[in-house]
Amino acid sequence: MGALLLCVFLGRKNKRKAARDVSYFILALLPPMLGNLIIIVSSTESFALVGSYVYFLGLDITVLALLRFTTDYCRMPFKGTLLRRVIYALVIFDFLQFALNPLTGHVFHLTPIDVEGSAYWLLVPAIGQSIHRIIAYGIFFASLGIFGYRTFTSPRFYVERYLIIFISMVVCCVLESFYIFSSTPIDRSMIAFGLFGLLVFYFTLYHKPTHLLNSMLARVVRNMTEGVLLFDRSGSCLYANKSARELFGIQEEADLSGCMALMADLVDEPSLRFDADWSRKRTVEIAGEVKHLEIGLRTIEEKGAVVGAFLSVRDRTEEDNRLARERYMARHDRLTGLYNQDYFYAKVSQLLRRDPEGQYVVAAFDVKDFKIVNDIFSKEFGDKVLVAMADCLRDVAGRQEPTVIGRIGGDKFGLILPRGHYTEAACEKELQRVCDSVSEIGQNRNYSIIIHLGVYYVDGPSLPPSVMYDRAFMALNSVKNDFQHHVAFYDDRMRDDVIRRQRVANELEEAMRSCQIRPYLQPMVDSNGNIQGAEVLARWIHPQEGLLLPGRFIPILESTGLIARFDAYIWECACLLLREWGKRGIDKFLSVNISQRDFYFLDIYEVISGLVRKYGIDPSKLRLEVTESVMMSDMRNRLETMNRLRADGFLMEMDDFGSGYSSLNMLKDVPFDILKIDMMFLSASENAGKARVILQTIINLSTELGITSITEGVETKGQFDMLLDMGCRLFQGYYFARPMAVEDFEEQYLVEESTL
Ligand code: C2E
Ligand code: MG
Ligand code: MG
């Protein structure tokens, strides 16, 4: 009992849960043992009775604790199960029948006998005793069964864990049976209990199943992907696992004596020394294959002396190759094999850091209308163009090391190279070579590929490479729509321009809200000088920059798409004015400009017809000016829009007639009501004579076609007289008036009229 108490004490001190479970179980063993002891030593009946009750009830507690320990140890579900409730009910029932025993005597009574000269109270069992035994032994055998089940069904590795407890239980059981079936009067089963407790305690907490561990470790080492070789102190190889044999081509049964030399060779040493641990990486050729190996040596010591060592060899070839592949993919463009954007920037910055005094240029390349190339000739052809382009750039770069080339995205490429003689002419020449060789791949397609180049002179490594590239690209953008120049060099004005564009775009909304954007009116007069109407021309009265003409902001708004919002605003201003004039009985028209870009962003028909409906205006009072560029794309839809507007009563004016490439053709296909002849025919140039002939022809042509013509840009009386002679009947120009604020226009031209 003392030993068991010590086990309880040790178990409670141990932090492991298993230790606490075991100590509970051993604690539960003590009551029946105590009862047993009392029975043995008692000389009076009442003393022996107390001992018997302690023994029987303690036994119930013991088997319950055993069952709990068993289910925990064997990881069987028990807590919260129905079985647990039934077992507890049975034990409570047993308790009750013992409680009734003093009255009924149905479980047992005691009778004195003489054993070797001293008095002993022998237990005489009755029916209740059998019930008690069924319950107690039932629970005991259930636990035994669980251990038996685990012993026979667990994988070989774990059998030992269960087998030991199972055997302990069987031993205990045999001892107990021996007492029950032998005719020994004195019950010494407590010895079996105590023994069982000690065995369980030892095997659960202190016994290391070395066989289990050894076989487990051996199996782990055998099947490890790492090669493992074990050497004794003298350097003979005792063991090489499967991976090591496979890696070095050592047969299963082969002699391992050559291993030491093999390994020493691997790490370029005459022999392996076992004085310290180390690890190294090596790239070697084994059976014609290049392998990346990571080799580590660990010494094995016993009592401070080295008794051997094991060598681990990890084949990193696949992993290294995969990493290298992934690194390549993360840094390169798949199609062209050039660096991708991020890596290009990283390499540029590395180059500039290494050579801060060097003179470099960052160049941005872009294929003109690459989308069209893709659309017309297929994506595959587009890819070929990009690959050819990359090859050309490699070629250019190859001649001027050190360089870095990257594909920034889509058809955009970046290059950094020594400044050398990078003049505009040299660049144009170089670029032409690139264009020519790229175009070669599309030879029989009748399409010459144009490439644009923007150049930024690097001024030390202070700017991030992405900004340098952006600047080169900014330069490129400035020649994107230029048919003659394909190369541009960055200067700070470009940046200012971009900043200005950004500012315009940012300020526009507020400008419209606070009436900085205003419609100015320029009169359109007839041959008698009478005002027929006016063209609405936008002005921006900027708080800092003063009056801005459309040339300063319309192109920016067009390039950002904000033009649609802007024009809708101007049209609404015009409608408001027309409604006002209508109320005052003023019968004048207003012409508004429609940008080509408006057609992309607006349903022009809906917006304009909606406005005249909203303000109750006669559509013929709102004339619509479009230039021929409107018809350059999506002609069918745009014609339909114009026809619908004309059907509603709007008059369509063709603005800047004669300034474009296909004005005459346009006249044939598009139903205009009015031709606004471009002011360039009036300019005094060397070809003034020819211009006059053309002017006369246009005026005649429009008369023949029944189209009204109006000439813009009339600046002098002479021009006016000439146009009158030519048969023109409507005029607009500084000779009559400059564009002016609405109030000025009304004051100058409308007051007299409404007072007439
Ligand atoms: P446009 O529609 O051809 O307008 C005529 C331009 O010629 C106006 O320039 C006008 O001031 C100018 N002009 C008129 N008479 C003479 C003259 O005798 N001599 C000279 N040298 N110029 C004359 P402005 O106002 O600078 O407008 C320029 C262009 O901006 C317009 O050309 C038009 O295309 C565009 N624009 C103006 N306002 C708007 C607008 O609200 N929306 C859109 N989308 N474009 C507008
Ligand atoms: Mg106009
Ligand atoms: Mg015009």
pLDDT digits (tens, 9 = 90+) for 693-708: 989 999 999 999 899 9
Looking at residue 756, its pLDDT comes to: 42
Q: Is 573 exposed, middle or buried (0-12, 13-18, 19+ CB in 10 A)?
A: buried
**What are the structure tokens assigned to 693, written together?**
């002939």
740 pairs with which residues across the strands? 521
29-43, 118-132, 289-303, 410-424 — most confident range: 289-303
Find the 155 Cα to ligand 1 centroid distance in Å.
94
Find the 549 Cα to ligand 3 centroid distance in Å.
14
Q: For residue 617, give the DSSP letter.
A: -
**What are the structure tokens assigned to 492, written together?**
């700070």
pLDDT(444) > 60: no
Looking at residue 284, its pLDDT comes to: 87
* Cα 244 to Cα 240: distance, rounded to the nearest angstrom: 6
For the stretch 553-600, pLDDT in tens is 999 999 888 999 999 999 999 999 999 999 999 999 999 999 999 999
Whose alpha carbon is nearest atom 33 of ligand 1? Answer: 593
Instruction: Average the pLDDT over 57-81 and give the result.
Output: 87
* Cα 684 to Cα 716: distance, rounded to the nearest angstrom: 11
* Cα 44 to Cα 123: distance, rounded to the nearest angstrom: 13
Looking at residue 398, its pLDDT comes to: 79
Residue 642 burial (CB count, 10 A): 22
* Cα 729 to Cα 714: distance, rounded to the nearest angstrom: 12
Region at 174 (left for phi over 0; alpha for psi -120 to 50; beta for the rest)? alpha
How would residue 755 be classed by pLDDT, with cut points 50, 70 and 90?
A: very low
- Give the Cα-Cα-Cα angle 434, 435, 438 (nearest 5 degrees): 85
How would residue 183 be classed by pLDDT, with cut points 50, 70 and 90?
A: low
Instruction: Average the pLDDT over 4-21 and give the result.
Output: 78
Whose alpha carbon is nearest atom 20 of ligand 1? Answer: 713
pLDDT(59) > 80: yes
What percent of the chain has a predicted confidence (pLDDT) above 70?
Answer: 95
Among residues 280, 308, 426, 420, which one has the least CA distance to residue 360? 420
All residues at 6 or more sequence positions from 512 whose CB lies less than 8 Å from its CB, including other chains: 565, 566, 569
Higher per-residue pLDDT: 462 or 551: 551
Find the 551 Cα to ligand 1 centroid distance in Å.
8
167-176, 270-279, 454-463, 520-529 — most confident range: 520-529
Ligand 1, pocket residues at CB < 6 Å: 522, 537-538, 549-551, 554, 567, 570, 593, 595, 625, 655-656, 679, 712-715, 732-734, 739
Looking at residue 151, its pLDDT comes to: 87
Higher per-residue pLDDT: 410 or 114: 410
All residues at 6 or more sequence positions from 285 whose CB lies less than 8 Å from its CB, including other chains: 291
Whose alpha carbon is nearest atom 16 of ligand 1? Answer: 713
* Cα 70 to Cα 510: distance, rounded to the nearest angstrom: 81
Among residues 579, 609, 574, 577, which one has the least CA distance to residue 591? 574
Residue carrying the six token digits 């290391």: 208
CB 147 within 8 A of CB 70: yes
* Cα 553 to Cα 400: distance, rounded to the nearest angstrom: 42
Residue carrying the six token digits 């013991």: 62
For the stretch 645-674, pLDDT in tens is 999 999 999 999 988 776 677 888 888 999
Distance (Å) of CA 264 to CA 229, 245, 279, 314, 409 = 13, 16, 13, 16, 50
Q: For residue 444, give the DSSP letter.
A: G
Q: For residue 680, give the DSSP letter.
A: G
Pocket test for ligand 1, best of 598, 712, 716, 731 (most atoms within 8 A of CB): 712
For the stretch 722-752, pLDDT in tens is 999 999 999 999 999 999 999 999 999 886 5
**What are the structure tokens assigned to 397, written together?**
């770069």
Whose alpha carbon is nearest atom 17 of ligand 1? Answer: 713
308 pairs with which residues across the strands? 232, 300
Atom nearest to 537 CA in ligand 1: 38
For the stretch 541-563, pLDDT in tens is 999 989 999 999 999 999 888 99
Whose alpha carbon is nearest atom 12 of ligand 1? Answer: 713
CA 322, 327, 330, 332: dihedral to nearest 10 degrees?
-110
Instruction: Average the pLDDT over 11-40 and give the result.
Output: 82
Looking at residue 163, its pLDDT comes to: 85
How would residue 187 be classed by pLDDT, with cut points 50, 70 and 90?
A: low
Atom nearest to 549 CA in ligand 1: 26
* Cα 524 to Cα 736: distance, rounded to the nearest angstrom: 8
For the stretch 492-506, pLDDT in tens is 888 888 888 888 889
Residue carrying the six token digits 């095997």: 203
CA 437, 440, 446, 452: dihedral to nearest 10 degrees?
-20
Q: What are phi and psi of 331, to 5 degrees?
A: -110, -15
Q: For residue 651, give the DSSP letter.
A: P
* Cα 38 to Cα 45: distance, rounded to the nearest angstrom: 11
Pocket test for ligand 1, best of 520, 537, 656 (most atoms within 8 A of CB): 537
Distance (Å) of CA 392 to CA 402, 437, 438 = 16, 7, 8
120 pairs with which residues across the strands? 113
Looking at residue 419, its pLDDT comes to: 83
Instruction: Average the pLDDT over 350-379 and give the result.
Output: 89
Higher per-residue pLDDT: 147 or 571: 571
Q: For residue 232, give the DSSP letter.
A: E
Find the 691 Cα to ligand 3 centroid distance in Å.
17
Among residues 64, 61, 100, 102, which one has the least CA distance to residue 83? 64
**What are the structure tokens assigned to 563, written together?**
């033009």
- Give the Cα-Cα-Cα angle 322, 328, 334 (nearest 5 degrees): 115
Whose alpha carbon is nearest atom 15 of ligand 1? Answer: 733
* Cα 4 to Cα 36: distance, rounded to the nearest angstrom: 15
Q: For residue 750, give the DSSP letter.
A: I
* Cα 629 to Cα 83: distance, rounded to the nearest angstrom: 91
Q: Which residues surround ligand 2, an ion (CB under 5 A)?
A: 593, 625, 655
Q: State how far Cα 454 lies from the chain centre.
A: 32
* Cα 629 to Cα 372: distance, rounded to the nearest angstrom: 19
* Cα 425 to Cα 694: distance, rounded to the nearest angstrom: 39
- What are the CB-based long-range contacts (under 8 Å, 24+) for 271-278? 271/235, 272/231, 272/235, 272/297, 272/309, 272/311, 274/231, 274/233, 274/235, 274/299, 274/306, 274/308, 274/309, 275/299, 275/306
Whose alpha carbon is nearest atom 10 of ligand 1? Answer: 739
Instruction: Name the helix (H) or strand (E) containing 350.
Output: helix 341-354
Q: Which of 365-374, 605-614, 620-629 has the lowest mean pLDDT?
A: 365-374
pLDDT(428) > 80: no
157-161, 378-382, 548-552 — most confident range: 548-552
Looking at residue 583, its pLDDT comes to: 94
Q: Is 77 exposed, middle or buried (0-12, 13-18, 19+ CB in 10 A)?
A: exposed
Among residues 287, 265, 282, which one has the least CA distance to residue 316? 282
Q: Say which amino acid occupies 383.
A: D
For the stretch 290-336, pLDDT in tens is 889 999 999 988 878 888 898 999 999 999 999 999 999 999 999 99
Sign, CA dihedral 733-735-738-744, equals negative
Find the 732 Cα to ligand 3 centroid distance in Å.
10
Residue carrying the six token digits 């019968």: 587
* Cα 199 to Cα 124: distance, rounded to the nearest angstrom: 32
Give the helix ranges, DSSP H, for 74-209. 82-104, 127-153, 156-181, 189-201
Looking at residue 253, its pLDDT comes to: 74
Find the 705 Cα to ligand 2 centroid distance in Å.
22
283 pairs with which residues across the strands? 292
How would residue 445 be classed by pLDDT, with cut points 50, 70 and 90?
A: low
* Cα 571 to Cα 556: distance, rounded to the nearest angstrom: 19
Q: Residue count of the chain, please give it.
A: 756
Find the 484 Cα to ligand 1 centroid distance in Å.
27
Strands, DSSP E only, in 243-397?
278-286, 289-302, 305-315, 360-367
Whose alpha carbon is nearest atom 8 of ligand 1? Answer: 537
**Mean pLDDT, rounded, of the chain:** 87
Q: State how far Cα 664 lies from the chain centre.
A: 55
Whose alpha carbon is nearest atom 45 of ligand 1? Answer: 593
Residue 167 burial (CB count, 10 A): 14
Instruction: Average the pLDDT over 209-214 and give the result.
Output: 66
* Cα 389 to Cα 382: distance, rounded to the nearest angstrom: 11
Find the 525 Cα to ligand 2 centroid distance in Å.
15
